[in-house]
Structure 1
Amino acid sequence: MSQHNVAKKESKISKILEVISGSFAPIIGVLAGAGLLKAALSVLSQIGWLSNESGTYIVLSAAGNSIFYFLPVFLGITIAIKLGGNGYVGGAIGAALLTPQIVNLVDTGVESISFLGLSVNLADYSSTVFPIFIAMFVYAGLEKCLKRIIYKDIQMFINPLISLAILVPLTMLFFGPFGNLVGEGLGAIITFLSDKSGLLAGAVLGGSWTFLTIAGLHWTIIPLAIANLANGPDPIIGMAAPAVFAQIAVAIAIFFKTRDNKLKSLAASGILPGALAGTTEAIYYGILLRYRKTIVYVVVAGAIGGAINGSFGVVMNDFVLPSVLSIPAFSPISQHLVGAGAAFVLGLTFTLVLGFQGKKDDTYNIKVIKPETVSSPLKGNVIPLADVNEPLFATNTVGKGAAIKPIEGKVYAPVDGEVTTLFPTQHALGITSNNGAEILIYVGIDTVKLNGQYFNVHIKQGDQVKKGDLLLEFDRKNIEKSGFDITTSVVITNTEEYAHIDVTEEAYVSSENSLLKLAL
């Protein structure tokens, strides 16, 4: 296969992965919140505090079940928008699968109906994922064709008319049954692997989950978990969950072990959202990638915890993000506590006993810090970091600095120094200057979900660079067309070493201009 064909194939795969992640991202919060509500109701019902026949239970159950039952509607909206189509048309196509006429026929045992002489096999499409994904990819292509051939002034109602009339029957005839078959097949494969060697499957998933989340690839696994829940419990998140507890443990250990107030604050900012909501971005971006020795701890602890959960057959009964509050959503709950507890204890012990700084980290810490002038790594307009639509940067959790709205897709070295971190998705990198400044350059917001698409690096980790050297290039226009904000954050991750970090007063900068001045 030629390099061109390989690149084309990789581009298509990246596009599909990016659509999947971009479609779930807008609703992942409400999915997790609804899942926690369902888990809480289950616990209250089991301990006898709330009858599942009471009005209170019924109302709260409706609140928890709504997004899962109507998932094809929500995904129809988000996928259509992500693919450049009309979100309301996408939602209407998903809703057609759940209309009372269809649902009532399914509930009464009717297996098929006739459409223009063709047999339509009826099925329960509530909570399904794959049928609507297939339908939306076809709809996106149809919508592009209609925009080319339909007179512009009547597209507003003609395009939806044609799309609904074509896509709803096709979905019920072909895409729905095929999508359900795909979902059931993938679920069966996962179940088979878990049954054959839950220990091995759990070890692999628990050990790799941290890397998957850092690279944004966990978004491609979450749909499989949700699809499993449509047919019963899901083992995937059950095996991955201990990795999250290992990450939280590392942050807790660093919080108690470090004497650095800034690092202590960073660790604390990651512990609470991780423990309560399962969101650990502050931990793996602010701690794991900075103190890379801790990644080994998380991998080992997550693998052991995942192996325990896998061997015990721990499953997730309602969709949640793994956290302390979501423990009731897993069963057997006692075995889940063993696996998650083992990962937590190991992560905590490794960090407290072995420390969190590697040789390279220690070298940075004992290095004499000197005042530094950080040039702008990009050409564009300066934006206060507080205005960036990403809490980790806007709240100075990772460090102080500034942001730039770039007008060209090139990133230059802002100092003389060494490339100490290069994200696998190529959207971000870290440089340690010869004067000891640790600089993180993070291109865009949530661009980790692009999985490296539209980015081209010119350096590798460990390279020595001079100020003004070209580090990476990115396709600014295509990134924005994909729905991502390209505002780039330039942050000093060892902010605590400096008495003052002053941002330029210039509204526009290029690589020849100073962006930050670091004073002791």
Structure 2
Amino acid sequence: MGKFEKDAKDLLAAVGGKENVSAVSHCATRMRFVLKDTKKADVKTIDKIPAVKGTFTNAGQFQVIIGNDVPIFYNDFSAVSGIEGVSKEAAKSAAKSNQNPIQRVMTMLAEIFTPIIPAIIVGGLILGFRNILEGVPFDFLGGKTIVEVSTFWSGVNHFLWLPGEAIFHFLPVGITWSVTRKMGTTQILGIVLGISLVSPQLLNAYAVSSTSAAEIAKDWVWDFGFFTVNRIGYQAQVIPALLAGLSLSYLEIFWRKRIPEVVSMIFVPFLSLIPALILAHTVLGPIGWTIGKGISFVVLAGLTGPVKWLFGAIFGALYAPLVITGLHHMTNAIDTQLIADTATHTTGLWPMIALSNIAQGSGVLAYYWMNRKNEREAEISLPAAISAYLGVTEPALFGVNVKYVYPFVAGMIGSGIAGLLSTTFNVQANSIGVGGLPGFMAINTKYMIPFFVCMAVAIAVPFALTLFFRKASIMTKAEDEMKEDDFAEATPVADLPAVGTTFDVKSPLTGQVKPLSEAVDPVFAQGVMGTGVLVLPSEGELVAPVDGVVSVLFPTKHAIGLVSDDGVELLVHIGMDTVNLEGKGFEAHVKQGDHVKVGDKLISFDIETIKEAGYPVETPVIVTNQNDYQPDAVGTLPREIKRGEDLLTASKI
């Protein structure tokens, strides 16, 4: 009998049986199912299976979190089900059958915009900081701004415009690159196309509205004799860049199938880039510009029209549900378009997004306050509240609010009221920034006080409503049922060290250590699999961080599990989504079951191969039996570290 045979049988029954499974695969931590009918999946029963640490649905896949024993579980599942697994990419492809056309478009947009969001957030922080330096008069400075009284800070303000301009004015470069990355086509061609949309040879998009048609016709055209083409740039334009990038990718895919490989290096790039560039400046760019202006006009009408308070209330209340569906990624494009198109180059949409983050954070904070003596609930809800207050709401939404309903509704009501006030006061942001409480940094200085009023509402109302709903037993059925059905039992473990005993975990890599919360994969970032740190390796050699046994070595060599001689269970996952490389660029020096000493070579990997495939190389090093051992990072983060130096301490609890 396999280790997980019973759990595998229970899972098969709970997902609707063999006949309901279209495809199944696994990565380093999760079973990934494509189900014919997702409604047949009994999540409540699945959550009770001992080997299961959680479930969620994403991009048409029903994902069951198992942990670093997932290869063993997967083998037992295959044995009891008779279902032959497929690759992760094949499962993704099959998952599209569970998505309607709108969901497929939203999934594609999410995958295109997600890689460039960090740059947009950095740009928002920079503009927010510059906003304080040059736009806020201080009484102690005689009513002047910082840049007016300090040459140093004036220089800093001027210098910071360099990255700010690079991020926002040259946003089309990032978009066209991300499109080619998503489509699996040549990324450098996407970069070249993006640069061709924002070249200094073109009339800057910000100057178009102030330039007469006669001047454009005279000075800003390509003259081909019997026709002309306007030399207009697309700085900060989203839709033109998106359409241009897609045309380039589809052209490259078309020509790849038809041009012999022996001459493809010559003809495919040429026949893809040049037509895409022509289309961008003659058809797609103007159309995209018009569509973008139309969208921003409609949203702007809602933000500034006679019933703007109603628009604010509806958008404020519905933004959190948009996050759940993934449709919220579209707001980044709309925000960027508003900033590009409005005369003030501001957006009234972003303040409401920040307020929604705060409101959902307040809902889960109230839940934490009521359950602060329940260790299991507190360790989930408090970090989720902090995360939401800092602009990342997924842990709050999926970990608490949606799960128990009433904090979610309280957050929606609070953000709806805050959104109503925000549009009533006409609060404007200079840019997209960090959501949640730090969102004030992106707010235009003249609207700071009204925004703080809205923030106070977004904090107080959801908190009070969550407490009220719980006390009045309104919408609390889900929580009550879950508490009644709580089946978790403490499993006695023999021969464990005394409580408080501390063990060292050495660094398995050379590179930079960062907080685990910065991981791009939310399963790692939220600590679902365990807690620890994130290492950005500078060298492709992974060594043993402890004396112990190799408990799991994945066939693709991209992740390894170890159990130390002291009982600490560790998972080291090299890069994100690197299972897709199917072992390319990885070489294992040990096998499952081997006993290793600190510093023994475990895996060699090629950092450039991972990066060229478009995957992050960041590597979580986590303690997976966190109920038995409390991991704590050694030193301040971020910091540089070498193999063999102290990385974590694991204390018996």
Q: Tell me whether the two structures share a fold, i.e. TM-score over 0.5.
A: yes
User: Which one of the candidate residues 336, 354, 358 is aligned to 2:469?
Assistant: 354
Q: Is the 8 A contact 1:245 1:341 kept in 2?
A: no
Structure 1 residue 56: deviation in Å?
Answer: 2.1
User: Which one of the candidate residues 463, 478, 481 is aligned to 1:363?
Assistant: 481
Query: Does residue 340 of the first structure (1) align with residue 450 of the second (2)?
Result: no
Q: Kindly provide the amino acid, as one letter, of the partner of residue 380 in structure 2.
A: L
Structure 1 residue 118: deviation in Å?
Answer: 2.7
Q: Is the 8 A contact 1:198 1:312 kept in 2?
A: no
Q: 1:341 to 1:403 in 2, by over 3 A?
A: farther
Structure 1 residue 13: deviation in Å?
Answer: 3.3
Q: Is the 8 A contact 1:89 1:160 kept in 2?
A: yes
SS at match of 1:114: strand
Query: Does residue 113 of the first structure (1) align with residue 221 of the second (2)?
Result: yes
Listed as ranges, the matches of 1:176-255 within 5 Å are 176-194=285-303, 195-231=305-341, 232-255=345-368
In 1, Cα distance between equivalents of 2:365 and 2:234: 43
Q: 1:32 to 1:65 in 2, by over 3 A?
A: same
Query: Does residue 160 of the first structure (1) align with residue 275 of the second (2)?
Result: no
Q: 1:323 to 1:239 in 2, by over 3 A?
A: closer
In 2, Cα distance between equivalents of 1:249 and 1:15: 32
Once structures 1 and 2 are overlaid, which stretch shifts more, 198-207 or 237-246? 237-246
Structure 1 residue 327: deviation in Å?
Answer: 0.5
Once structures 1 and 2 are overlaid, which stretch shifts more, 310-319 or 354-363? 354-363
Q: Kindly provide the amino acid, as one letter, of the partner of residue 222 in structure 2.
A: S
User: Which one of the candidate residues 361, 371, 395 is aligned to 1:282?
Assistant: 395
Q: 1:89 to 1:249 in 2, by over 3 A?
A: same
Aligned alpha-carbon RMSD (Å): 3.6
Q: How many residues align?
A: 398
Query: Does residue 128 of the first structure (1) align with residue 227 of the second (2)?
Result: no
In 2, Cα distance between equivalents of 1:399 and 1:60: 38
In 2, Cα distance between equivalents of 1:115 and 1:144: 31
What does residue 393 of structure 1 align with?
523
User: Which one of the candidate residues 259, 270, 274 is aligned to 2:384?
Assistant: 270
What does residue 144 of structure 1 align with?
253
1:131-183 Cα distance to aligned partner (Å, 9 max, x none): 11111222222112211222212222322222222221221122111111111
In 1, Cα distance between equivalents of 2:254 and 2:521: 40
1:181-227 Cα distance to aligned partner (Å, 9 max, x none): 11111111111122131111111111111111012110122211111
1:47-78 Cα distance to aligned partner (Å, 9 max, x none): 32235984322211112221111111110100
1:216-250 Cα distance to aligned partner (Å, 9 max, x none): 11012221111111122222223333211111112
Where does the alignment leave 5 or more consecutive residues of structure 2 unmatched?
A: 1-95, 138-144, 492-515, 532-550, 557-575, 578-613, 617-624, 630-653
Once structures 1 and 2 are overlaid, which stretch shifts more, 349-358 or 155-164? 349-358
In 1, Cα distance between equivalents of 2:166 and 2:488: 57
Once structures 1 and 2 are overlaid, which stretch shifts more, 81-90 or 43-52? 43-52
Structure with larger Rg: 2
What does residue 69 of structure 2 align with?
none
Q: Is the 8 A contact 2:198 2:235 kept in 1?
A: yes
Q: 1:499 to 1:36 in 2, by over 3 A?
A: closer
Q: Kindly provide the amino acid, as one letter, of the partner of residue 265 in structure 1.
A: E
In 2, Cα distance between equivalents of 1:126 and 1:256: 47
In 2, Cα distance between equivalents of 1:168 and 1:257: 58
Once structures 1 and 2 are overlaid, which stretch shifts more, 197-206 or 130-139? 130-139
In 2, Cα distance between equivalents of 1:404 and 1:227: 47
User: Which one of the candidate residues 420, 442, 459 is aligned to 1:329?
Assistant: 442
Q: Kindly provide the amino acid, as one letter, of the partner of residue 408 in structure 2.
A: I
Q: Kindly provide the amino acid, as one letter, of the partner of residue 350 in structure 1.
A: L
What does residue 492 of structure 1 align with?
none
Structure 1 residue 361: deviation in Å?
Answer: 1.5
SS at match of 1:325: helix
Structure 1 residue 130: deviation in Å?
Answer: 0.7
User: Which one of the candidate residues 49, 66, 84 is aligned to 2:146?
Assistant: 49
1:254-289 Cα distance to aligned partner (Å, 9 max, x none): 33321112322222312333323x112211111112
In 1, Cα distance between equivalents of 2:203 and 2:315: 36
Q: Is the 8 A contact 1:297 1:351 kept in 2?
A: yes
Structure 1 residue 32: deviation in Å?
Answer: 0.8
In 1, Cα distance between equivalents of 2:246 and 2:522: 33
In 2, Cα distance between equivalents of 1:260 and 1:184: 51
In 1, Cα distance between equivalents of 2:287 and 2:393: 36
Structure 1 residue 371: deviation in Å?
Answer: 4.9
Q: Is the 8 A contact 2:120 2:167 kept in 1?
A: yes
1:81-132 Cα distance to aligned partner (Å, 9 max, x none): 2123222111211101222222479788544413534321233411110111
Q: 1:272 to 1:167 in 2, by over 3 A?
A: same
By relative contact order (CA 8 Å, sep 6+), the higher-ranking structure is 1
In 2, Cα distance between equivalents of 1:99 and 1:396: 41
Structure 1 residue 40: deviation in Å?
Answer: 0.9
User: Which one of the candidate residues 156, 162, 165 is aligned to 1:62?
Assistant: 162
1:431-461 Cα distance to aligned partner (Å, 9 max, x none): xxxxxxxxxxxxxx99xxxxxxxxxxxxxxx
SS at match of 1:180: helix
What does residue 634 of structure 2 align with?
none
Q: Is the 8 A contact 1:44 1:50 kept in 2?
A: yes
Q: Is the 8 A contact 2:204 2:232 kept in 1?
A: no
Q: Is the 8 A contact 1:270 1:280 kept in 2?
A: yes
Q: 1:499 to 1:325 in 2, by over 3 A?
A: closer
Q: 1:325 to 1:251 in 2, by over 3 A?
A: same
What does residue 645 of structure 2 align with?
none
Q: Kindly provide the amino acid, as one letter, of the partner of residue 270 in structure 1.
A: A
User: Which one of the candidate residues 14, 18, 23 is aligned to 2:107?
Assistant: 18
SS at match of 2:147: coil
Listed as ranges, the matches of 1:23-102 within 5 Å are 23-46=112-135, 47=137, 48-51=145-148, 54-102=154-202
Q: 1:269 to 1:338 in 2, by over 3 A?
A: same
In 2, Cα distance between equivalents of 1:114 and 1:391: 46
In 2, Cα distance between equivalents of 1:104 and 1:235: 24
In 2, Cα distance between equivalents of 1:87 and 1:61: 27
What does residue 279 of structure 2 align with?
170
Q: Kindly provide the amino acid, as one letter, of the partner of residue 28 in structure 1.
A: I
Q: Is the 8 A contact 2:363 2:463 kept in 1?
A: yes
Structure 1 residue 397: deviation in Å?
Answer: 3.6
In 2, Cα distance between equivalents of 1:78 and 1:129: 12
SS at match of 1:102: coil
SS at match of 2:222: strand
In 1, Cα distance between equivalents of 2:262 and 2:275: 21
In 1, Cα distance between equivalents of 2:353 and 2:555: 37
Q: 1:246 to 1:359 in 2, by over 3 A?
A: same
Q: 1:393 to 1:404 in 2, by over 3 A?
A: farther
Structure 1 residue 26: deviation in Å?
Answer: 0.5
In 2, Cα distance between equivalents of 1:403 and 1:330: 49
Q: Kindly provide the amino acid, as one letter, of the partner of residue 314 in structure 2.
A: V
